[in-house]
């Protein structure tokens, strides 16, 4: 991983909920084909918008507690958090423009 950061059940509160800026969480899994399509787009966006948003990845198979807490039913699910609360969420692989719009909704 480059510009994105891996988070776990243990680090979710400090990395996401207590962040000073909005955080986009990519709930993903190794076996998920569409997740692999979204990943390079998220890396690009993380590099381009680093001063405005933090982008993190949470593997739902390794971290089931957080996925359960936020009722993640399919992957990829992308949820933007602001001030410790989920603001908006989309499921499925989306084009870069839609991902940027999701982030901008929380800025």
**Alpha-helical regions (H) of the chain:** 12, 33-48, 64-69, 96-104
Q: Which residues pair with 77 in a beta bridge?
A: 27, 91
101 is catalytic: no
Active-site option among 7, 24, 25, 32: 32
| Interatomic CA distance for residues 94 and 84, integer angstroms | 24
35 is catalytic: yes
Strands 23-28 and 77-82, by their bridges, are antiparallel
Active-site option among 24, 25, 35, 78: 35
| Interatomic CA distance for residues 13 and 4, integer angstroms | 17
Residues with active-site annotation: 32, 35
């Amino acid at each position: 991983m480059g510009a994105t950061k891996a988070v776990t059940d243990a680090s979710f509160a400090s990395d996401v909920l207590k962040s000073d800026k909005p955080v986009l969480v990519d709930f993903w899994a190794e076996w998920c084909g569409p997740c692999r399509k979204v990943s390079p787009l998220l890396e690009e966006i993380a590099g381009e918008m680093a001063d405005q948003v933090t982008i993190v990845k949470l593997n739902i198979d390794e971290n089931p507690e957080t996925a359960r807490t936020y009722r993640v039913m399919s992957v990829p699910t992308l949820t933007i958090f602001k001030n410790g609360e989920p603001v908006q969420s989309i499921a499925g692989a989306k084009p870069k423009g839609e991902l940027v719009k999701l982030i901008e909704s929380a800025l």
